[in-house]
Amino acid sequence: MTAYLVLENGTVMKGEYFGAQGEITGEVVFATGMTGYLETLTDQSYYGQIVLQTFPLIGNYGVIPPDFESANVGARAYIVKHPCKNPSNFRCEGTLDSFLKERGITGLYGIDTRALTRIIRENGVMNGKIMAAPPTNADFAETKAYSIKNAVAAVSSRTVTKTVRDSQAVKKRVALMDFGAKRGIANALAARGCEVWSFPHDTSAQEILKIKPDGIMLSNGPGDPAESANNGIIETLRVLQKSGVTIFGICLGHQLMALANGYSTRKLKFGHRGANQPVKELATGRVYITSQNHGYAVVADNGSFVNVNDGTCEGMDYGVSFSVQFHPEACSGPLDTSFLFDRFIERMNK
């Protein structure tokens, strides 16, 4: 069935529906990963966004539930050039098309994804709407008016949970503040002998410190870190920092930690989303290839890591605590920076 993508700058692109068929508005962003589409779809950092995959063939190894980063799809809609109809993988449990239909997620294919990516790169991230009929003036107005609000509250867990791989091998207790956490973070910690307690985003510092954690992990998540809805979290982080417990922030956790320390953030033109982002550790001069998914950056000239492509801050070191903009757990790869979890444990030991 024919479908249209309408951008707030007036661009209209024609394609075909797959997955669920419906009208949906969101912020259109592109991700450059050649693989990892399941991790992308189930990453809650994409809340409120329509995700465009730049790699032309998506879905070729099907749907594999153990690879999901969360129970739900984070993206509002999904755009690809060619969705694979006949996936091949010994772990495959279905097609991308059927998965999107089951989850009620609208898909669009058959448009010129290279042209769309170029529009975003040249003009910046913008809102878009997928619809079945040619657009009207009302559709353009609706598209332009869309904004992402209260994103963290929408995706954070509601209850406290505990993850432990082997109770006999527990070495450290870590409190994970869930802002839309990827499962890979808790799994990476559990694999290193950590008992991980996951807390909702609005948990007080007193409740977190009550479990006597050896370390505190700040997860990834969606939205503008400087949104007023996050002010309570930022105040909580200030209190947690004063406790002396080692804190490790990833992605949104990195940004919120910076805000708690007096730094500011800014929106990037088109963000960093994909599994091929180069970052340089300034202390060693070594460059790592990383997985990233963010549209905002910390404004700082004293960071510990820097993005090789555009020079933006990719990490901060506060002595006892530290944070990074990229994903060291990167379940779809690369795993170049997984050593940062070991660094977290080393700092807890000190």
Residue 326's pLDDT band (boundaries 50, 70, 90)?
A: very high
Query: DSSP letter at 20?
Result: B
Q: How confident is the model at residue 163 (pLDDT cuts 50, 70, 90)?
A: confident
Query: Average pLDDT, stretch 109-128?
Result: 96
Report the helix count and the strand count for the chain, using DSSP H and E: 10, 19
Query: Mind giving me the DSSP string for 261-285?
Result: TT-EEEEEEEEEEEEEEEEEETTT-
pLDDT for res 13: 97
pLDDT confidence tier of residue 125, bands split at 50, 70 and 90? very high
d(CA 249, CA 313): 14
Beta-carbon contacts of residue 213 (< 8 Å; ≥ 6 apart): 173, 174, 175, 197, 245
Positions annotated as catalytic residues are 251, 327, 329
Residue 167 has pLDDT above 80, yes or no: no
- The confidence band for 227, taking pLDDT boundaries of 50, 70 and 90, is very high
Helix (H, G, I), strand (E, B) or coil at 32: coil
Residue 273 has pLDDT above 80, yes or no: yes
Averaged pLDDT, 272-277: 92
Q: Say if CB 199 and CB 134 are below 8 A apart.
A: no
pLDDT of residue 168: 73
Q: Is the pLDDT of residue 122 over 90?
A: yes
Inform me whether the pLDDT recorded for 213 exceeds 80. yes
- Identify the band that residue 340 occupies on the pLDDT scale cut at 50, 70 and 90: very high
Task: Check residue 169 and give its pLDDT.
Answer: 78
- C-alpha distances (whole Å) from 327 to each of 189, 226, 249, 277, 323 are 13, 20, 10, 10, 10
Mean pLDDT, range 33-60, rounded to an integer: 96
Question: Is-above-0.75 flag for pTM?
Answer: yes
Two tokens, residue 330: 């990167």
25: left (phi over 0), alpha (psi -120 to 50) or beta: beta
CA distance 340 to 347: 10
Q: What domains are there in the chain, each with its CATH number?
A: 2-147 (3.50.30.20), 152-349 (3.40.50.880)
Helix (H, G, I), strand (E, B) or coil at 67: helix
Tokens 């973070």 belong to residue? 185
Query: What is the H or E stretch that residue 175 is in?
Result: strand 172-177
Query: Which pLDDT band holds residue 330 (cuts at 50, 70, 90)?
Result: confident
Q: Give the pLDDT score at 164.
A: 80
pLDDT over 90 at 291, yes or no = yes
